Structure 1
Amino acid sequence: MRYLMLCLALTLGLAHPLRANEAARAVISAQLEAFLAQDVARAYSYASGFIQQKFSSPEQFGAMVRDGYPMVWAPSDVTFLDPKEIAGKLWQNVRLRDAAGAGWIVEYEMIKTDEGWRINGVRVHAAPDASV
């Protein structure tokens, strides 16, 4: 009986990060889809309160992404990489290809809120190789 309880506890403990990762990926995917549809209000809804306060409106947020992060605004290819936990925060790495064909690694900082997972910021790096 103890063995069964231990196995159950380990299984549930390991499943929680997996569910968090799946939920974070769903939020990122939904935001990318919203950008592709040019639905900045919906894309803005996936940003954390910190990001929403910083840009104060969906239109300002959308303009910042469109002008500063074209690989996020209109990716031609999206591949989710392994997530990382850094200092207790979930970072989901995503490999994107922009409209010109360049490869990028976008690191999404994800935070858990009362409303679910939200995007709290991104870091962008050129992909180590051009193929995505």
Structure 2
Amino acid sequence: MIRTTSLLLALVASPLAAQDTDGIQGIIDQQMDAFIARDIPTAFGFASPGLQQMFQTPQNFGHMVEYGYETIWNNEDVRYLDLRQDAEHWVQRVMVSDGQGSVMVFDYFMVETDGVWRIDAVQPVIMPQGMA
């Protein structure tokens, strides 16, 4: 699996330390690897407490990703784009390819919980034709 980092930091508020940037990308990488291994309990463990509460079980979470985020479920190439801060989250933009010709861009909304980065939400980004 290919992992490419091309960070364009667009930091609006306080700068994020390099280890935090690495931590955010590391959590996303680990979850992507868990999806490829179909290790859903591990993938579920990278979700924020709020997301875990929403889905309640790893099986519910895995079902949602498998049928709602097929490119992530079958990820083969992950490229990190810009990182920015909104009112409540750091948002890491990620381009994901599934190796079957599908390429999508997602915003990963990250929260720090007890000193550990967790994925709080993932939202597809609608890109202009030919941009992804």
TM-score range (shorter-chain normalised) is 0.7 to 0.9
- Secondary structure (helix, strand or coil) at the match of 2:17 reads helix
With a CA cutoff of 8 Å and minimum separation of 6, indicate the structure with the bigger relative contact order.
2
- Secondary structure (helix, strand or coil) at the match of 2:120 reads strand
Contact 2:77 2:99 in 1 (8 A): no
TM-score by length of 1: 0.81
Structure 1 unpaired stretches of 5+: 1-12
Give, in whole Å, the separation in 2 of the partners of 1:111 and 1:28. 12
TM-score by length of 2: 0.81
| Counterparts in 2 of 1:115 and 1:62: CA distance versus 1, 3 Å | farther
CA RMSD of aligned residues (A): 1.9
Greater strand fraction, Structure 1 or Structure 2: 2
Match of 1:67 in 2: 67
Match of 1:94 in 2: 94
Percent sequence identity over aligned pairs: 32
Shift, 1:123, TM fit: 0.7
Shift, 1:46, TM fit: 0.2
Aligned residues: 119
Greater helix fraction, Structure 1 or Structure 2: 1
- Secondary structure (helix, strand or coil) at the match of 1:20 reads helix
Matches within 5 A, 1:47-126: 47-114=47-114, 116-126=116-126
Contact 1:95 1:127 in 2 (8 A): no
Structure 2 unpaired stretches of 5+: 1-13
Larger Cα-atom Rg:
1
